[in-house]
Structure 1
Amino acid sequence: MESLDLRVLGDALAWKQAGHAVTLVTVVETWGSAPRPPGALLAVRDDGMVSGSVSGGCVEDDLIARTKAALNQPSEASPTQPFMMAYGVSKEEAARFGLPCGGTLRLVQEPLHDTAWISEVLQRTADHQLVARTLTLSTGVVALHDAVRGQAMQFDGTTLTTLFGPRWRLLLIGAGQLSQAVANMATALDFEVLVCDPREEYASMVGGMPGVRRMEGMPDDVVRTLQPDAHTAIVALTHDPKLDDMALLEALGSDAFYVGALGSRRNQETRKKRLAEHFDVNEAQLARLHGPVGLKIGARTPAEIAVSILAEIIQVKNTVATPAVVHTAPSCAT
């Protein structure tokens, strides 16, 4: 469910619309220290242009050469249905392709014909929906279904179900120097970054950050409007209880996977007491609050604190968002 894979789908759609032949390649099984996880996507265009990765560069050259040759064969000779292939099935082949520690990859190659499903996946994920896509290898037929958080990729040798989810997003309450550092780093990490700060004197600070969108309004209203889901993190950074607490009231009762607030340990205890006594926030909700926010790395500067905050967010994200791959039947060797 990486947003990288959504970009691969977007590129594949654009290439098909421009008249190119395109093949999608999906990692379906890995053994050893394979660099890319099951579900990772690569799109190959008929002129050799690529988007995405299936091995971090180990087998791409060979795969691209094979796929490009197949795409440029006469139509009656080129493959029309999905098929499986493997790399690294022996120590010699693993060494030849540079797969680390004898890693092995099993891939499904899929000549891309109909693109309507790509448009639907991109639209549904933009609407913050989780989508499961099932490919039947014998026919190339694609079906889309609603997915649920924690659902795993499934492969039984005949059908492949992969998952696509929305971009991870981060809402920052406050637009000060620390928020700017967090926003810049989060953008580089491919988060959708939103900033809410009703103080007009901070508005220009948000406007100058590329890839960052300002959310107008009071923090509690913004959180309610956003309808945080399990792909959303919310961090309060103003140091002003009138603003931070308003956002936290809504965030702690939402589905956001991470809620954090800036402040010392003593300030956090005071905050929790205030939220419990005056706003009826329950113990389970208060237990979700990460504060002092960030991992303990001895951070002192805004940039170092931003690193600690994002490191903790990523730690939580990766803990809750990595279900195992389900193999519903023994896979057949290729």
Structure 2
Amino acid sequence: MDSVDLNVLRSVLAWCQAGQRVRLYTVVQTWGSAPRPPGAMLAVRDDGMLIGSVSGGCIEDDLLERLRDGRSAAGGAAVQLVTYGVSREEAARFGLPCGGTLRLTEEDVGDASWVAELLARCENHRLVARELELASGRVTLHDALPGDSLQFDGERLRAVYGPRWRLLLIGAGQLSRYVSEMARMLDFEVLICDPREEFAFGWEDSHARFVPGMPDDAVLAIAPDERTAIIALTHDPRLDDMALLTALGSRAFYVGALGSRVNSQKRRERLAYLGLAAADIARLHGPIGLPIGSHTPPEIALSLLAEIVALKNGTAVSRPVRQQQACGQPA
């Protein structure tokens, strides 16, 4: 799920702990074109305050009207199903694309203990499946596996919640600052390792967290999983190669290193000389980033994160044959 939806659950927990009544809406089915995918969430407080999104805004307005006119309390079931866009006229009314249909679960969050437990598991970087029984409103939590997805059969909803995507940067130089800021806007958790003390200046007000130790120790310390990307940006083989030797044998979905095509090939030769298996070396992204003709540090950061987001979202990334570019630029 999107970490945007985890923010919805954080607000649900805070509101419930403050004594507010909260209704939670989850997109469970879509037909045709729909503004938000299954799993998207919206929470509405009893005073009309809301967080999250299940559409472009019109459906949110109607959900508030349901709260005001009592429709959300009708029906008797612990969890109700709400459907929008069945007819062409209704689709147009609620701003859905022509033919789009959206179905939501509507549930009262009385006991928020499951919310606290789910968030705690995600903070520990675990995938969690939440099962909601519509007839009783009972919620149970289970461990989930990578690749698990939302399931709904009309009686039971099984939604998968994941921890934030993480980005470990080896090196705290100028490029890392741009990567860190852009990654934060994309809601990545940014981690940085740089044993060179002189590079730590100016990071005090950033949202990144420094991981102490040498780069290979930092990779081991964060226990990379399928939601982790690791990028070596120091341009110093004594630091970058240490991190790559460990990272390429991990479960990280992306491992990359700054450098031109020539330097990237030399790096692969060094890693082979150091005993890294060919299959692990083949996982290395280098040069990093999509080929957008980048020259400046902000442009290189943009191309790098575009590649990472594409792979995160399951989009195949192809690289056309290009002339050799300056060190650090995509090629």
In 1, Cα distance between equivalents of 2:272 and 2:56: 48
> Structure 2: which 5+ runs fail to align?
316-331
Deviation, 1:72, is 9.2
After superposition, where does 1:63-212 map in structure 2 within 5 Å? 63-70=63-70, 81-209=78-206, 211-212=207-208
Deviation, 1:16, is 1.1
In 1, Cα distance between equivalents of 2:251 and 2:306: 20
In 1, Cα distance between equivalents of 2:97 and 2:255: 37
In 2, Cα distance between equivalents of 1:11 and 1:79: 26
Q: Provide closer, same or farther for how the CA distance between residues 2 and 191 of structure 1 changes in structure 2, counting only shifts above 3 A.
A: same
Work out which of the residue numbers 298, 303, 312 in structure 1 matches 2:293: 298
1:294-324 superposed Cα distances (whole Å, 9 cap, x missing partner) = 000000010000000000000010008xxxx
Deviation, 1:20, is 1.2
In 2, Cα distance between equivalents of 1:10 and 1:104: 28
The corresponding residue for 1:20 is 20
Are 1:9 and 2:9 matched, yes or no? yes
**Contact 2:56 / 2:95 at 8 angstroms: preserved in 1?**
no
The corresponding residue for 1:60 is 60
The corresponding residue for 1:235 is 231
1:180-221 superposed Cα distances (whole Å, 9 cap, x missing partner) = 000000001100001111111101133242x11111211000
Q: Provide closer, same or farther for how the CA distance between residues 135 and 70 of structure 1 changes in structure 2, counting only shifts above 3 A.
A: same
- Which amino acid letter does the alignment assign opposite residue 232 of structure 1? T
**Contact 2:131 / 2:157 at 8 angstroms: preserved in 1?**
yes
Q: Provide closer, same or farther for how the CA distance between residues 26 and 33 of structure 1 changes in structure 2, counting only shifts above 3 A.
A: same
**Contact 1:45 / 1:68 at 8 angstroms: preserved in 2?**
no
The corresponding residue for 2:278 is 283
In 2, Cα distance between equivalents of 1:112 and 1:232: 32
**Contact 1:27 / 1:37 at 8 angstroms: preserved in 2?**
yes
Deviation, 1:80, is 5.9
In 1, Cα distance between equivalents of 2:77 and 2:66: 15
**SS of corresponding position for 2:58:** coil
In the comparison of the two structures, how many residue pairs are matched?
A: 315
Deviation, 1:272, is 0.6
In 2, Cα distance between equivalents of 1:131 and 1:247: 29
> Structure 1: which 5+ runs fail to align?
321-334
Are 1:253 and 2:253 matched, yes or no? no
Deviation, 1:79, is 5.2
**SS of corresponding position for 1:217:** coil
Q: Provide closer, same or farther for how the CA distance between residues 3 and 258 of structure 1 changes in structure 2, counting only shifts above 3 A.
A: same
**Contact 2:170 / 2:193 at 8 angstroms: preserved in 1?**
yes
Query: RMSD of aligned C-alpha atoms?
Result: 1.5
Work out which of the residue numbers 310, 313, 316 in structure 2 matches 1:318: 313
The TM-score normalised by the length of structure 2 is 0.92
- Runs of at least 4 residues off by over 3 Å: 68-73, 77-80
In 1, Cα distance between equivalents of 2:55 and 2:180: 30
In 2, Cα distance between equivalents of 1:5 and 1:300: 35
The TM-score normalised by the length of structure 1 is 0.91
**SS of corresponding position for 1:59:** helix
- Which amino acid letter does the alignment assign opposite residue 95 of structure 1? A
Deviation, 1:96, is 0.9
In 2, Cα distance between equivalents of 1:143 and 1:215: 35
Q: Provide closer, same or farther for how the CA distance between residues 229 and 58 of structure 1 changes in structure 2, counting only shifts above 3 A.
A: same
**Contact 1:22 / 1:71 at 8 angstroms: preserved in 2?**
no
In 2, Cα distance between equivalents of 1:132 and 1:155: 13
In 2, Cα distance between equivalents of 1:87 and 1:14: 29
The corresponding residue for 1:324 is none
In 2, Cα distance between equivalents of 1:208 and 1:130: 30
